[in-house]
Amino acid sequence: MVPPQTKKRPTVFFDRDGVLNEDTGYPHQPSQIVWIDGSIEAVKYLNDAGYLVLVITNQAGVAQGYFDEPTVNSLHAWFNQHLANWGAHIDAFYYCPHHPNAAVERYRLVCSCRKPAPGLLLQAIAEWPVDLKRSILIGDKESDLAAAAAVNIKGVHFKSGNLFSFVKQNVSQVS
């Protein structure tokens, strides 16, 4: 549910695979999700601190025919069901199902939503009261950071380790 445009809030945009959960090669079922150490705690910490938490993710598995869009949406609903066990939540998920070399023809295109293009970020910024100056994107690929730069949001590269510790170190620099 998208809130009415209210007071601007700091926001943390997360890439999904490789940041919140391990990138195990097109994970699309709850049984395939292995949470990154500290990721659940990081989301709760941000929720408790008043940040919006939004996920911005390329999902080329749809374009390659490995799974469909309802499967992506079901997995994202499961993410929030799982996070609720710890009193945490992700405010919204945004994903791109396209790929220029897609096996599924209707998804074979160069679009404005596939990172490094900023389309998903622009959509989220239009729909949520994001304070751009106090927001960051945490991603594990250069394409994530390029999308953040395209909309003047600080991008930080998460390589590995405990996401909660990483968030505490990097988020304090923008608040």
Domains of the chain with bracketed CATH: 13-160 (3.40.50.1000)
The C-alpha atoms of residue 37 and residue 123 are separated, in whole angstroms, by 29
- Sheet with 92-96: list strands edge to edge: 92-96, 52-58, 11-14, 136-139, 154-157
Per-residue pLDDT at 101? 96
Residue 102 forms beta bridges with which residues? Answer: none
Identity at 163, one-letter amino acid code: L
> 6: pLDDT confidence band, cut at 50, 70 and 90?
confident
Find the helix or strand (DSSP H, E) in which 28 lies.
none
Place of tokens 């989301």: 43
Residues 143-161 have a mean pLDDT of 97
**Residue 23 bears catalytic tag:** no
What type of residue sits at position 141? K
Output the DSSP codes for 99-148: BTT-SSGGGBS--SSSTTS-HHHHHHHHHS-B-GGG-EEEESSHHHHHHH
Residue from 15, 91, 140, 144 carrying the catalytic annotation = 15
- Identify the active-site residue in 17, 91, 140, 144: 17
How many whole angstroms separate alpha carbon 145 and alpha carbon 95? 16
β-sheet bridge partners, residue 96 = 58
The answer to whether 151 and 144 have CB atoms below 8 angstroms apart is no
What's the CA gap between 51 and 33, in Å, rounded? 24
pTM score, whole prediction: 0.94
pLDDT band at 174 (very low <50, low <70, confident <90, very high): low
68 catalytic? Reply is: no
pLDDT in tens, 72-96: 999 999 999 999 999 999 999 999 9
